[in-house]
Chains A and B, each alone.
Chain A
Amino acid sequence: MAVAKSVKLVPDFSLSPRIDQVGVEERASRFTKRSIKNETKMNGLKLVLNMIDLTTLEGKDTDGKVKQLCYKAMHPHDAIPGIPTVAAVCVYPTMVKVAKKALEGSGIKVASVATAFPSGQATRDIKIRDTKYAVAQGADEVDMVISRGKFHAGEYNFVFDEIAAIKEACGEARLKVILETGELGTYDKVRRASDIAMHAGADFIKTSTGKIQPAATMPVTLVMLEAIRDFYYKTGKMIGMKPAGGISKSKLALHYLVMLKEVLGEDWLSNEWFRFGASSLANDVLMQIVKGETGLYQSANYFSVD
């Protein structure tokens, strides 16, 4: 009896809505036709900056590097007053403690990748411990990767349960689920993976690790935003979105913002519900903001490289 009842509650993910490739790419390109100027551009750029998860995920990361990045997160460009901070700093679990301390009192979140990032090729036990460690170190947000191999093998229940288990391990921390869309192959599968992640308890869905090409693209993000909208309609629960990797120019970031505005609307237009996973985007945005304030483009040398 109990079994029958619970079976009914999980949707059959193989029936997730289909996506027409031509149609979704056409729609995504429409967002790039919006003309973003003057105060719209300045407000948009500040919003973008405030949505960035400033990221360093390298084997050669050290305490020093992370501290520098955290300073940048809090003070993106002090030469101009009124510039917002970024949303979060995203690091490996071993760097969480350093970042947490460096960002103390700033309101900037510490996000930690976990679950054997970026491949996710580890046992569930290891993934749970990885997650718990990151949370114990002080991570406010956990960016997990799904088991793409199991997903491709059609073992949706495995993927679902794994996300659910990591969600449990997260406790109060918000969970971002990385689909690694570059490895999924089709928009149909991006949509299916999004549905699994949201139903299993994701607070955010995220495109990519940044280690695989292609990373975030506008059509992939559109498919995920529409999945979020459908889930919201069904459940009333808002899910956040994080495109990551491949967004390094302000113009492209503004196109993403246009897409967000026109697909999900006002409620999602803050860093509580939308993030950019990026490392080099911040400086391009800053350069554009300074151009807007002073009327002049400045040399890249005026912006700190961290």
Chain B
Amino acid sequence: MFSELRRGSILINRIRNDEVCDTTGDEQSYNRRVNKKIMAVKTKKAVAKKSNTIKLKFDTSWTYAPAPESKSAATINKQYDLFIDGKWQQPLSKKYFGTINPANEEKLSEVADANAADVDKAVKAARSAYDKVWKKMPAKERAKYIFRIARMVQEKARELAIIETLDGGKPIRESRDFDVPTAANHFFYYAGWADKLEYAFPNRRTEPLGVAGQIIPWNFPLLMAAWKIAPALATGNTVVLKPAETTPLTALKLAEIIQEADLPPGVVNILTGAGATGAAIVNHPDINKIAFTGSTEVGKIIQRAIAGTNKKVTLELGGKAANIIFEDAPIDQAVEGVINGIFFNQGHVCCAGSRLYVQESVAKEVVRKLKDRLESLIVGDPLDKNTDIGAINSKAQLETIKKYISIGKKEGAEMYESSCHLPGKGFFCRPTLFTNVAQSNRIAQEEIFGPVLSVLTFRTDDEVIEKANNSPYGLSAGVWTDKGSKIFNMTKRMRAGVVWANTFNKFDPTSPFGGYKESGFGREGGLHGLAAYVSIV
């Protein structure tokens, strides 16, 4: 056996010393031209080429032709009113504001700007629908309406996906394969619960809370609307929902679906507007429950505003998730998971894996592979089916991201960005990563909410747990290791609402989602998501 090993080894030696290809471009094209001497034995000089100068070339001669999804499959009105009491009503404010396509800065439509009077009107409609219809309706009848909405979301999936991409800038691949189907699944899931609440809360009786005021962010406009509306309706509440000011269109499309589904008037009211509209909802005295997803800053304002009232509240706020790669991890899959973890939806994800902790022994390899993968990401027109990374949602957000990139550079971290070409118009940002980041750097502590990854290293399990938990946030985390026992040890000690093992950014309606610390409280999704909309009597 030993002698066999030696024979093989000597051969390897020969390969390494004599046959290592020189990797300069000239040599390779030469190789290609002279096709016959395929494994030409190279001179010993070739060995001198250091392996860290070797680069893969992703700018290939075979490129993808543009494959844009057709805009004509979606209808967007020139102007939208407010959806109150089952009807489209002109705003009492008499004001409208524009919503643009962040990929080309062109105006898509105008939507109403609801003021406090409009909010009051909507809350009154919701209250009357709650008292007169929805509360009294047998649960299985409620379920039928929600099932109907779910099916209609599926039927209009293509149109919803296109509008989501036009209004928000996310790649069509994501809105088509993730946002819209997951939104439909949420409606299906909670429709199923409506007449089975006694099994969700065994031996207890539940009552709906009343009118729920719901304020949702711009990163997953339709999906967040589904996350909010579905459990509220299933448990017998009525809803006043406000989509984000930069992405109101799919919520308004959902209002059309709700109207078409013949949901009793006033059960769901959708008001567009900016911060002031949200504040009016939060401060309205006749609202029983506030559900908010958005920034920690606004979350704190809401928390203050409702102090001393009877309003129940759930807050799903920011995050700065730690994604941890151990040396025994399946590296290539971990790298892919890290890429999806931070660049999914341009990094506009509260649970994005924005802090990467890599065990030092594999850090070089991981960073090299991350850089390679960065180069093969396609950045551009969100409507193109081949686009991996679309447009940043708004000019303001792009400014924020740029600010953090310059902070990172000033802090002494090493920046690497994809060499991709960016479109001339619209809000775009190259996928970026920082190496040599310190725990005390702002880019490692604060939520950037963009395609920017901070890479830090660690040596031991205890060290990484301490560092991972060393954050004001606690929404999500990821662990990459081949060892099952290590997964359980890590997940038990990590202060995060969701911990993914050997995967990242996986969502399912059956699984609760929510955070610790400044990432908020309350859970959405699954059985836990029902609890946020009932009082147990």
Binding site for B on A (CB under 8 A): 2-3, 6-7, 9-10, 17-20, 22-24, 26-27, 33-41, 43-44, 47, 107, 157-158, 160-161, 164-165, 167-168, 172, 174, 199-201, 203, 226, 229, 232-238, 257, 261-267, 269-270, 272
Q: Do the beta carbons of A272 and B38 come within 8 Å of each other? A: yes
Closest to A23 in B: B333
Residues of A near B62 (CB, < 8 A) are 40, 43-44, 47, 257, 261, 269
Closest-CB distance, B199 to chain A (whole angstroms) = 31
Q: Do the beta carbons of A236 and B59 come within 8 Å of each other? A: no
Does B56 sit at the interface, judged by CB under 8 A? yes
Q: Do the beta carbons of B11 and A265 come within 8 Å of each other? A: no
Does B435 sit at the interface, judged by CB under 8 A? no
Does B13 sit at the interface, judged by CB under 8 A? yes
Known: A36-B65, A161-B8. 12 other contacts (CB 8 A): A6-B9, A23-B330, A33-B177, A34-B386, A164-B11, A172-B39, A200-B8, A201-B12, A236-B22, A263-B376, A265-B56, A269-B62
Q: How many positions in chain B have a CB within 8 Å of any CB in the partner chain?
A: 59
Give the 8 A-B residue pairs with the shortest CB-CB distance, closest first: A23-B333, A35-B67, A6-B9, A20-B330, A20-B333, A266-B57, A35-B385, A265-B56
Q: Do the beta carbons of A27 and B58 come within 8 Å of each other? A: no
Closest-CB distance, B49 to chain A (whole angstroms) = 6
Does B446 sit at the interface, judged by CB under 8 A? no
Surface stretch bound by A, among B28-36, B241-249, B291-299, B342-350: B28-36
Q: Do the beta carbons of A234 and B51 come within 8 Å of each other? A: yes
Contact with A along B1-37 (1 / 0, CB 8 A): 1101111111111011001111100001001100100
Residues of B near A22 (CB, < 8 A) are 333, 502-503
Residues of B near A174 (CB, < 8 A) are 38-39
Closest to B331 in A: A17
Closest to A270 in B: B32
Closest-CB distance, B31 to chain A (whole angstroms) = 7
Q: Do the beta carbons of B386 and A35 come within 8 Å of each other? A: yes
Q: Which residues in window 447-479 of B have CB below 8 A to A? A: none
Closest to B38 in A: A174
Q: Do the beta carbons of B12 and A157 come within 8 Å of each other? A: no
Q: Do the beta carbons of B328 and A9 come within 8 Å of each other? A: no
Residues of B near A272 (CB, < 8 A) are 31-32, 35, 38
Q: Can you list 30 A-B pairs, Cβ within 8 angstroms, ordered by A?
A: A6-B9, A9-B13, A10-B5, A18-B329, A22-B503, A23-B333, A23-B502, A26-B336, A33-B173, A35-B64, A35-B385, A37-B65, A40-B65, A47-B62, A160-B8, A167-B11, A174-B38, A199-B12, A200-B8, A203-B39, A236-B20, A236-B23, A236-B54, A238-B21, A257-B62, A262-B376, A265-B57, A265-B376, A269-B61, A272-B38
Residues of A near B16 (CB, < 8 A) are 9, 235
Report the separation of the CA atoms of residues A261 and B330 in the bound assembly, to the nearest whole angstrom.
22
Residues of B near A234 (CB, < 8 A) are 51
Q: Do the beta carbons of A233 and B64 come within 8 Å of each other? A: no
Q: Do the beta carbons of B15 and A201 come within 8 Å of each other? A: yes
Report the separation of the CA atoms of residues A158 and B19 in the bound assembly, to the nearest whole angstrom.
23
Q: Do the beta carbons of A261 and B6 come within 8 Å of each other? A: no
Given A229-B56, A234-B51, A236-B20, residue A6 in contact with residue B13 (CB < 8 A) = yes
Q: Which residues in window 378-415 of B have CB below 8 A to A? A: 384-386
Closest-CB distance, B425 to chain A (whole angstroms) = 23
Q: Do the beta carbons of A264 and B56 come within 8 Å of each other? A: yes
Residue from B19, B57, B332, B336 whose CB has the most chain A CB atoms within 10 Å: B332
Q: Do the beta carbons of B10 and A6 come within 8 Å of each other? A: yes
Q: Do the beta carbons of B328 and A18 come within 8 Å of each other? A: yes
Given A6-B5, A20-B330, residue A34 in contact with residue B11 (CB < 8 A) = no
Residues of B near A10 (CB, < 8 A) are 5, 8-9, 12
Residues of B near A7 (CB, < 8 A) are 5, 9
Given A203-B39, A229-B56, residue A23 in contact with residue B61 (CB < 8 A) = no
Q: For A18, give its contact among B4, B15, B330, B385 (CB under 8 Å).
A: B330
Closest to A41 in B: B65
Report the separation of the CA atoms of residues A172 and B39 in the bound assembly, to the nearest whole angstrom.
7
Closest to B176 in A: A33
Given A157-B1, A236-B49, residue A24 in contact with residue B332 (CB < 8 A) = yes
Contact with A along B207-229 (1 / 0, CB 8 A): 00000000000000000000000
Residues of A near B6 (CB, < 8 A) are 2-3, 6
Does B486 sit at the interface, judged by CB under 8 A? no
Closest-CB distance, A59 to chain B (whole angstroms) = 31
Closest-CB distance, A155 to chain B (whole angstroms) = 8
Given A7-B9, A35-B64, A265-B57, residue A17 in contact with residue B332 (CB < 8 A) = yes
Report the separation of the CA atoms of residues A235 and B502 in the bound assembly, to the nearest whole angstrom.
29
Q: For B21, give its contact among A6, A27, A236 (CB under 8 Å).
A: A236
Report the separation of the CA atoms of residues A44 and B63 in the bound assembly, to the nearest whole angstrom.
9
Residue from A43, A168, A199, A235 whose CB has the most chain B CB atoms within 10 Å: A235
Residues of A near B329 (CB, < 8 A) are 18
